[in-house]
Amino acid sequence: MLGPESQEGPVRQMVPLDLHAVQQEVLTCTRCRLSETRISAVPGEGAPDSRVLFVGEGPGGRENESGRPFVGPAGQLLEELLRGIGWRRPQVFITNVVKCWPHGNRDPFPDEKAACNGYLDRQGFALQPRVIATLGRHSMEKFFGPGQSISRIHGTTGRWRGILCYALYHPAAILRQPALKPLMMADFARLPDLVAQEEAADVAEPAAPSVLPALEAGEQPRLF
């Protein structure tokens, strides 16, 4: 169940909550070509104490105009899926692999994903979610590794820096293939149990603090 953690439960490791800093850096970022054609960067939004981090692929045209993630038809479907499990959008945190619109809704290029990778890492480190829910192929590859098929591993879990990751179809896939909706509803239905499972594991054995990866020689610190 989402919501404030019980005062009787374990105290979670405090982490630098620099979501606001990430937001400000994303809004002025010029690290890749996507900054040249955007109207607004889309850092992400949601509860800073969210138990679930949803990670999509990239903003669409409406997101580019509004500066908010998942506000178009795919976003409406995501909110419907959340309501189906008794959750509301303000309870979770939503972001994307790339923070600016790939013009024409094309797939983001590898160097564009690499330019945003530090922002996403820092968001995950600051939020310390119980579950990272990946939405679509590019998000899945970030947390599950390359060479995976979303049709094969949707509804399965893995670990990324100790955090449970859960692979889901992107809501846009349902807009293209409505027959996938019952499948995605069933996958979403598992989310509350996965969150409860991770919270129970913390009660049994408090998790060690997440650690940011060591920087390579000459590498600059990155956001999320």
Task: Tell me the pLDDT band of 203, cut-offs 50, 70 and 90.
Answer: confident
16-19 contacts at long range (C-beta below 8 A, 24 or more positions apart): 16/125, 16/126, 17/48, 17/126, 18/122, 18/126, 18/223, 19/48, 19/123, 19/126, 19/127
Query: Which residue's structure tokens are 């939004």?
Result: 45
pTM: 0.84
Residue 18: the pLDDT is 84
Q: Tell me which amino acid residue 174 is.
A: I
On whether the CB atoms of residues 154 and 132 are closer than 8 A, the answer is no
* Contact partners, residue 208, CB within 8 Å, separation at least 6: 13, 162
Residue 8 has pLDDT above 60, yes or no: no
Residue 2: the pLDDT is 56
Residue 6: the pLDDT is 33
Written as one string, the DSSP assignment of 135-198 is ESHHHHHHHH-TT--HHHHTT-EEEETTEEEEEE--HHHHHH-GGGHHHHHHHHHTHHHHHHHH
Residue 194: the pLDDT is 98
Residue 114: the pLDDT is 97
Chain-centroid distance of CA 51 in Å reads 11
- What are 50-98's pLDDT values in tens digits? 999 999 999 999 999 999 999 999 999 999 999 999 999 999 999 999 9
Residue 134 has pLDDT above 80, yes or no: yes
Q: Tell me which amino acid residue 57 is.
A: E
Mean pLDDT of 164-170: 98
